[in-house]
Amino acid sequence: MIPLFTSQQAKEIDRYTIEHEPISPFALVERAAEAFVTVFCGRFPRQGCVFVFAGQGNNGADALAIARLLADEAYKVEVYLFNTGSGELSPECRANRDRLKGNKDIGFQEITGSFAAPELGKQDVVIDGLFGTGLNRPLTGGFAAVVGYINRSEATIVAVDIPSGLFGEDNRGNHPEAVVRADVTVSFGFPKLAFLLPGSAEYAGQWETADIGLHPAAVAATDTPYALLTKEAVASLLRPRNRFSHKGTYGHALLIAGSRDKTGASLLAARACLRSGAGMLTVHVPQGGGLAFNTALPEAMLDFDPHGEYFTAVPDLTPYAAIAAGPGMGQSAETKDAFVRLLDGCEKPMIIDADGINLIASDPDLIPFIPPRSILTPHPKEFDRLAGESIDGYDRLQKAREFAAEHTLYIVLKGHHTAINTPEGKTYFNNSGNPGMATAGSGDVLTGIMLGLLAQGYEPEAAALLAVYLHGLAGDLAAAARSEESLIAGDITEMLGKAFQQLHAANIHAPNRV
């Protein structure tokens, strides 16, 4: 897992590194600049001009050091140091300014009043080092104007650590027009929470991290509820399958899904469940869904609802190791009555998706009946119906965290970086997947994967983490084979086998097969 720290925590980690490595603040700036330049040189050819916009603080110091190092790498560099505020340059910024003044290979201007903006072309690169994570209020006035000028240019924009004007976490009170829209952000040490949230991630563009040698003791000792999943961390959750096993070893799953015109949702979830390792699967479907299943998925057993079009009767839950309900289920009055009985009669964690979530949202009195440690998998609109409208991605995330903790549930808030929120207050962000997965039925596949894992005896948290990552990884493999535009939900399921293979290959701590 990659920890995600708040801006204040990152500042404290820097301070600890300076005190205990020990290293001077100036030397840490130099190390950060070197790490940035390594990334930059690997991405950008020596064409056009690199325009460096530096502010008065340590983000500006980083930018000035970067300018000097890029000139050493034979880039054409022009520097604009904005020293127009009421404060003074930081000591590190002042020292790096003084090192630039005598460098004949770099064009240097220190702006203390009006700014004659250079012409920025398509071949040029702007390095944004105006403000860093220490910013605590929206940009206004002259700096907001400079940001607007940068954003309107045709140049490629590369941010140092964080785009200027963007807050590291909560941007609910920010001014969007006064935030640099970077094409690339090189973040020092760790990504920022804002890079992973709808409404703020767009300002970071493509981001990557640069290791600047932060003290490992400080990193380990800093507690954060946020983490980014890695392939290795997720792979470590996989369990080997026993050679002396049978279908009963891997659990009997129950899927309650589908209605008259949404049999496809149940088929997609069912196939994904079986492809995820469940030993047996029974699908509770309306009587009209039998032919489709017998034709398309003979591996699934069927339990027919007495109604011909939707879910109205709860089957005996005793034989099942795991239960999922919701995909394509519908929201009729009869279905709601049956769903209430299902919640009341289920004594183990279950997975609730789609129409199941919508039924709960329509009647919040049902929330206490959800079995503890169940997994809910809403997309943003479904979650807003459940917990109220949100201002932005950060606001929605905090509501999801509170909802999970208050009701002892796992809230899998789906999105580009799906956030798995636990009852204990942890949030794990996924980093697999692609925009091609924004297609009908993709969520049904995720429910099926999760059900298959839960049936095998994985704890709800492990099942949620594995399912979300596998879903995204299979989607990435499908997009590579077919393109994002051509990807459909069934393609994700077809790539699950390869996704499992990749995770097993990444599991360096895998035990021997038993």
**In CATH, what number is assigned to the domain containing residue 265?**
3.40.1190.20
Look at residue 514 and tell me if it is in a domain. no
Are the C-beta atoms of 425 and 225 separated by less than 8 Å?
yes
Are the C-beta atoms of 126 and 158 separated by less than 8 Å?
yes
**In CATH, what number is assigned to the domain containing residue 107?**
3.40.50.10260
Segments in the chain below pLDDT 70: 86, 509-514
The pTM of the whole model exceeds 0.85? yes
Look at residue 456 and tell me if it is in a domain. yes
According to the model, what pLDDT value does residue 512 have? Answer: 54
According to the model, what pLDDT value does residue 84 have? Answer: 86
Are the C-beta atoms of 481 and 473 separated by less than 8 Å?
no
Q: What is the number of domains present in the chain?
A: 2
* Domain end residue (candidates: 163, 190, 222): 222
DSSP structure class, residue 288: G
Same domain, 196 and 280: no
Q: Which of 40, 31, 41 is nearest to 65 (CA)?
A: 31
Same domain, 121 and 45: yes
* 64: containing domain: 2-222
Same domain, 187 and 292: no
Look at residue 511 and tell me if it is in a domain. no
Look at residue 264 and tell me if it is in a domain. yes
* Phi, psi for residue 96 in degrees, rounded to 5: -75, -30
Could you give the CA distance from residue 88 to residue 407 in angstroms, rounded to a whole number? Answer: 50
Look at residue 513 and tell me if it is in a domain. no
Number of Cα atoms under 13 Å in the Cβ half of residue 380 = 18
What type of residue is 220? Answer: A
According to the model, what pLDDT value does residue 85 have? Answer: 72
Q: Which of 351, 321, 326 is nearest to 336 (CA)?
A: 326
According to the model, what pLDDT value does residue 102 have? Answer: 84
| DSSP E strand boundaries for 121-198 | 125-129, 156-160, 184-188
Find the DSSP H helices in 408-459.
Answer: 442-455
Same domain, 456 and 422: yes
Secondary structure of the chain: what % helix, strand, coil (to 5)?
A: 45, 15, 40
Q: How far is CA 399 from CA 336, 383, 406, 407, in A?
A: 25, 9, 10, 12
Same domain, 202 and 291: no
DSSP structure class, residue 11: H
Same domain, 124 and 254: no
According to the model, what pLDDT value does residue 87 have? Answer: 74
Look at residue 413 and tell me if it is in a domain. yes
State how far Cα 19 lies from the chain centre: 33
Look at residue 65 and tell me if it is in a domain. yes
Same domain, 110 and 194: yes
Could you give the CA distance from residue 282 to residue 275 in angstroms, rounded to a whole number? Answer: 14
Same domain, 116 and 31: yes
Same domain, 100 and 201: yes
* Domain end residue (candidates: 156, 190, 222): 222
Could you give the CA distance from residue 226 to residue 230 in angstroms, rounded to a whole number? Answer: 13
Same domain, 124 and 245: no
Length of the chain: 514
Same domain, 90 and 162: yes
DSSP structure class, residue 304: E
| Contacts of 419 by beta carbon, 8 Å cutoff, 6+ apart | 196, 397, 400, 411, 412, 413, 427, 428, 429, 430
According to the model, what pLDDT value does residue 289 have? Answer: 87
Same domain, 248 and 289: yes
Task: Write the DSSP string, 196-225.
Answer: GSTTTHHHH-EEEEE-----HHHHHH---S
Report the SS3 class of residue 301: strand
Could you give the CA distance from residue 66 to residue 18 in angstroms, rounded to a whole number? Answer: 20
Look at residue 209 and tell me if it is in a domain. yes
DSSP structure class, residue 237: T
* Domain end residue (candidates: 201, 222, 243): 222
According to the model, what pLDDT value does residue 267 have? Answer: 98
